[in-house]
Structure 1
Amino acid sequence: MSSPHNLPKNLVVIGAGVVGLTTAVKIQEKGGYNVTVVAETFPTDPKTITYTSLWAGAHHVSHAGRDEKQMAIDKETFDVMWELSAPGGQAEHCFMRISQTDYLLDGRDEGLDWMPDFKQLPTDSLVPGALAGTTFTTINIDTPVYLPYLLSRFLARGGKIARGSVQHVSQVIEGGPGLFRRGRADSTPVDAVIVCAGLGARTLGGVEDKDMYPVRGQVVIVRAPWITFGRTVSHAEQGRWTYIIPRRSGDVILGGTKEDNDWYPAARPETTTDILERCLALCPELVPPEIRAQRAGTIDDLRPLILEEGCGFRPQRKGGIRLDVEWVPGRDGEGRIPLVFNYGHGGGGYQSSWGSASVALDLLEKALASPQL
Structure 2
Amino acid sequence: MTAAPPPPAKIPIVVLGAGVIGLTTALRLQETGKYQVTIVAEFIPSDPKSIKYTSQWAGAHHVYNPFNETNQHALEEETFNTMWELSAPGSDAEESFLRIPQTEYFFCEQAQPSPMEKMPHFRKLRPEELIPGAHSGVTFTTVTIDVPIYLNYLLMRFCARGGRVLRGTLLHISQVIEGGTRIFAGGSAHDPLPAAIIVCTGLGARSLGGIEDTAVHPVRGQTVLVRAPWVRFGRTETRDTNGASTYIIPRRSSDVVVGGTRVVDDWYPRARPEVTLDILTRALALCPELAPPEIRAIRKPTVEDLSHIVVGEGCGLRPSRKGGVRLEVEWFDGASVHREGKIPLVHNYGHGGYGYQASWGSASKALELLDEALKVNSKTE
Is contact 2:69-2:323 (8 Å) kept? no
Alignment of 1:1-373 (within 5 A): 6-63=8-65, 65=67, 69-109=71-111, 110-182=114-186, 186-236=190-240, 240-330=244-334, 332-369=338-375
Identity %: 58
Once the two structures are TM-superposed, the CA of residue 183 in structure 1 deviates from its matched residue by: 7.3
- SS of match in other structure, 2:95: helix
Separation (CA, whole Å) in 2 of partners of 1:291 and 1:165 = 50
Separation (CA, whole Å) in 2 of partners of 1:111 and 1:265 = 33
Separation (CA, whole Å) in 1 of partners of 2:199 and 2:4 = 30
Separation (CA, whole Å) in 2 of partners of 1:341 and 1:2 = 38
Once the two structures are TM-superposed, the CA of residue 32 in structure 1 deviates from its matched residue by: 1.5
Separation (CA, whole Å) in 1 of partners of 2:203 and 2:98 = 28
Letter of the 1:130 counterpart: A
Separation (CA, whole Å) in 2 of partners of 1:357 and 1:285 = 37
Letter of the 1:206 counterpart: G
TM-score, normalised relative to structure 1? 0.95
| Structure 1 residues 298 and 333: alpha-carbon distance in aligned structure 2, compared to 1, 3 A threshold | closer
Is contact 2:70-2:324 (8 Å) kept? no
- SS of match in other structure, 1:181: coil
Deviation beyond 3 Å, 4+ runs, structure 1: 1-6, 64-68, 182-187, 237-240
Deviates more, 1:339-348 or 1:2-11: 2-11
Residue by residue over 1:97-150, the C-alpha shift from the partner in whole angstroms, topping out at 9 and shown as x without a partner, is: 000000011131343111100010011211122101000000000001000000
| Structure 1 residues 29 and 292: alpha-carbon distance in aligned structure 2, compared to 1, 3 A threshold | same
| Structure 1 residues 66 and 178: alpha-carbon distance in aligned structure 2, compared to 1, 3 A threshold | closer
Is contact 1:107-1:130 (8 Å) kept? no
Once the two structures are TM-superposed, the CA of residue 186 in structure 1 deviates from its matched residue by: 4.9
- SS of match in other structure, 1:316: strand
What is the match of residue 379 of structure 2?
A: none
Residue segments in structure 1 that go unaligned for 5+ positions in a row: none
Letter of the 1:119 counterpart: R
Is contact 1:175-1:185 (8 Å) kept? no
Is contact 2:224-2:259 (8 Å) kept? yes
Separation (CA, whole Å) in 1 of partners of 2:80 and 2:88 = 12
Is contact 1:174-1:185 (8 Å) kept? no
Once the two structures are TM-superposed, the CA of residue 66 in structure 1 deviates from its matched residue by: 5.9
- SS of match in other structure, 1:312: strand
Letter of the 1:276 counterpart: L
Is contact 1:65-1:111 (8 Å) kept? no
Separation (CA, whole Å) in 1 of partners of 2:296 and 2:66 = 38
| Structure 1 residues 27 and 183: alpha-carbon distance in aligned structure 2, compared to 1, 3 A threshold | closer
Once the two structures are TM-superposed, the CA of residue 167 in structure 1 deviates from its matched residue by: 1.1
Once the two structures are TM-superposed, the CA of residue 269 in structure 1 deviates from its matched residue by: 0.3
Once the two structures are TM-superposed, the CA of residue 277 in structure 1 deviates from its matched residue by: 0.3
- SS of match in other structure, 1:140: strand
Separation (CA, whole Å) in 1 of partners of 2:357 and 2:77 = 8
Once the two structures are TM-superposed, the CA of residue 190 in structure 1 deviates from its matched residue by: 1.1
Once the two structures are TM-superposed, the CA of residue 158 in structure 1 deviates from its matched residue by: 0.3
- SS of match in other structure, 1:158: coil
Letter of the 1:349 counterpart: G
Give the alignment's Cα RMSD to 1 decimal.
2.0
Residue segments in structure 2 that go unaligned for 5+ positions in a row: 377-381
Once the two structures are TM-superposed, the CA of residue 181 in structure 1 deviates from its matched residue by: 2.1
The number of residue pairs the alignment matches comes to: 370
Residue by residue over 1:65-121, the C-alpha shift from the partner in whole angstroms, topping out at 9 and shown as x without a partner, is: 566822211110000000000011121110000000000111313431111000100
TM-score, normalised relative to structure 2? 0.93
- SS of match in other structure, 1:16: coil
- SS of match in other structure, 2:115: coil
Is contact 2:119-2:141 (8 Å) kept? yes
Separation (CA, whole Å) in 2 of partners of 1:58 and 1:186 = 40
Letter of the 1:51 counterpart: Y
- SS of match in other structure, 1:87: coil
- SS of match in other structure, 1:13: strand
Once the two structures are TM-superposed, the CA of residue 254 in structure 1 deviates from its matched residue by: 0.2
